[in-house]
Amino acid sequence: MKYSLRTKLTISYILIAAVCVFLISIISNIYLDKYFQDYIIKSQARKNSEIVALVAQQYKTEGKWDNFSIQSIGINALENGMIIKVQDADGTVIWDAMKYNTAMCHNMMANMENNMYSRYPNWEGEYIKDSYPLVHKGDTVGNIEIIYYGPFYYTDSDLEFINTLNRVFIGVGILSLLLSIVIGAIISRNISKPITRVIDRAHLISQGHYSSRSNEETDTKEINELINSINDLAQNLESQERLRKQLTADVAHELRTPLATLQSHMEAMIDGIWEADTERLKSCHEEILRLNRLVGDLGKLAKYESSILTLDKTEFDLKDLVTRVAGNFERGFISKNIELILRLDEQSIRADKDKISQMIVNLISNALKYTKTGGKVIIELTGDKNKAELTIIDNGIGIAEEDLPNIFERFYRADKSRNRLTGGAGIGLAITKAIVEAHKGIIEVESEINVGTKLKVSLPKNNPMA
């Protein structure tokens, strides 16, 4: 059976309160017994000493005793659970509690036994008789015997104190349970309420309502992180849905244009409006090549993004590869009068050379396309013992801040006009990112409109992961 978080939290508070009260009660009773027993034993020794001193003071002179005072002392001792017997130096009994009131003595002893057995069912007590000399001015003038139940005993008052304390523990336990139910319900409600609302938002998101957001405010760190995570998830899903729709429109657009051109040309030639000469067939061929390039790029992207992509790694100098690829674009830079500056350090890495070459081609091609005539492109290659860093900086048209998070998405292009002069299908950077991530590298971009763009790729030099 599954329970709600609110129910579990409430039950946990009740269990914690119950366990705490139970442990406090048990520990308190254990220590109470120990210290109370020590206290009773010490108290008994003190009472014995006081009785001996009081009785010794009742000796007058020449063997005379104050019998009335001794009797008062004996009756008081009897009421406190002690039976005394006083004798003079010759052994003559001056006062004996058993003779004074035998029934009271037996009743008192029976009551003490009942008290102890009610508290300790397996109690093993016995009557203890202590004998003390009675000394007057340095002379022993008699003897006193004190009989009591030992090694200790509880009077009715002692038992009432212990029972009252236990009733207090029970009352505190009941009150604690009631408070734990109330407090647990309040706290669990405050915790579960925002979580429940976040769950409702998550259900809406799962149904495709990606614009749904949770505005819950709570002082619990973990719940805040959960709310933020759900909101971030919704935002990412909304963004992905938007990009998916854009992707569909982009693919349709990229395929529609060459297909429409081919269709119109072929229909015109079939209807005899146009003559099927070399020039028109060449135009149709160019559109077919464009379609092939698009399909080829999509195939590459699918391959590079595949989780089972195999890298054919070899050791090579990245400086030589960058120099060779940049040289292939020399004519393009010259035709646009763009200054190309190479600042390359020797950096030996272990990677798939063909795929890294494709990545460099895509990056330099983009820099060339989006840098205006008379501009400048800087290619830097640096690194350390762990990684190599390739940085390409241009002073071209730049990328708007709102477009930066999406430039690595397939078919996404910041130039919404889709001018064919400024680029192809818009999947070059998506391929580039896939290649970098396949090598466990990182690609970063900084850009500002009409200022330029900086792309930095960090590649591990010897990554054992394939």
Over the stretch 266-314, which tens digit does the pLDDT of each residue have? 888 888 888 878 887 887 887 788 778 777 767 776 666 665 567 888 9
SS3 383: strand
pLDDT-derived band at 113 (thresholds 50, 70, 90) equals: confident
Q: Is the pLDDT of residue 455 over 90?
A: yes
Q: What pLDDT was estimated at residue 38?
A: 82
Q: What pLDDT was estimated at residue 417?
A: 44
Q: Is the pLDDT of residue 416 over 70?
A: no
pLDDT-derived band at 6 (thresholds 50, 70, 90) equals: confident
Q: How far apart are CA 172 and CA 149, in angstroms?
A: 34
DSSP letters, 313-334, are EEEEEHHHHHHHHHHHTHHHHH
Q: What pLDDT was estimated at residue 465?
A: 46
Work out the average pLDDT over 84-101: 88
Q: What pLDDT was estimated at residue 462?
A: 75
Note whether 56 and 66 are within 8 A (CB).
no
Note whether 378 and 435 are within 8 A (CB).
no
* Closest to 307 (Cα-Cα) out of 466, 427, 112, 150: 466
Give the tens place of pLDDT for each residue, 46-71: 888 999 999 888 888 777 888 889 89
- Buried b or exposed e, range 376-385, using 16+ CB within 10 angstroms: bbbbbbebee
> Going by DSSP bridges, is the β-strand pair 339-344/376-383 parallel, antiparallel, or unpaired?
parallel
Which two tokens mark 75?
A: 């009756």
Q: What angle is formed at CA 316 by the lines to CA 338 and CA 443, rounded to 5 degrees?
A: 55
Q: How far apart are CA 265 and CA 275, in angstroms?
A: 10
Which 8-state DSSP code applies to residue 134?
Answer: E
* Closest to 430 (Cα-Cα) out of 408, 457, 445: 408
> Going by DSSP bridges, is the β-strand pair 339-344/452-460 parallel, antiparallel, or unpaired?
unpaired
Q: How far apart are CA 399 and CA 447, in angstroms?
A: 5
Q: Is the pLDDT of residue 366 over 60?
A: yes
Work out the average pLDDT over 134-162: 81
Q: CA-CA distances (angstroms) from residue 86 to 71, 107, 137, 143? A: 10, 21, 18, 6
Walk me through the domains of the chain, giving residue ranges and CATH numbers: 5-167 (3.30.450), 208-304 (1.10.287.130), 309-460 (3.30.565.10)
Q: How far apart are CA 279 and CA 80, in angstroms?
A: 132
pLDDT-derived band at 360 (thresholds 50, 70, 90) equals: very high
Note whether 286 and 293 are within 8 A (CB).
no
pLDDT-derived band at 195 (thresholds 50, 70, 90) equals: confident
Q: Is the pLDDT of residue 422 over 50?
A: no
Q: How far apart are CA 324 and CA 347, in angstroms?
A: 15
Q: What pLDDT was estimated at residue 420?
A: 43
Q: What pLDDT was estimated at residue 419?
A: 44
Q: What pLDDT was estimated at residue 103?
A: 86
pLDDT-derived band at 356 (thresholds 50, 70, 90) equals: very high
**C-alpha Rg value of the chain to the nearest Å:** 50
Element (H, E) at 344: strand 339-344
Note whether 426 and 410 are within 8 A (CB).
yes
CA atoms within 13 A on the CB side of 163: 10
Q: How far apart are CA 410 and CA 454, in angstroms?
A: 20
Neighbouring C-beta atoms of residue 300, cutoff 10 Å: 18
Q: What are phi and psi of 254, to 5 degrees?
A: -65, -30
Q: How far apart are CA 52 and CA 145, in angstroms?
A: 9
Q: What pLDDT was estimated at residue 460?
A: 93
Q: Of 149-153, 191-195, 399-403, which gets the smallest average pLDDT?
A: 149-153
> Going by DSSP bridges, is the β-strand pair 442-448/452-460 parallel, antiparallel, or unpaired?
antiparallel
Q: CA-CA distances (angstroms) from residue 128 to 84, 125, 145, 400? A: 12, 9, 10, 101
Q: What pLDDT was estimated at residue 414?
A: 56
Q: What pLDDT was estimated at residue 301?
A: 67
Q: What pLDDT was estimated at residue 351?
A: 92
What's the mean pLDDT when you consider all of the chain? 81
Give the tens place of pLDDT for each residue, 429-452: 888 888 898 888 999 999 989 899
Q: What are phi and psi of 218, to 5 degrees?
A: -145, 155
Q: Of 215-219, 271-275, 301-305, 353-357, which gets the smallest average pLDDT?
A: 301-305
Neighbouring C-beta atoms of residue 290, cutoff 10 Å: 19
Q: Is the pLDDT of residue 408 over 50?
A: yes
pLDDT-derived band at 253 (thresholds 50, 70, 90) equals: low
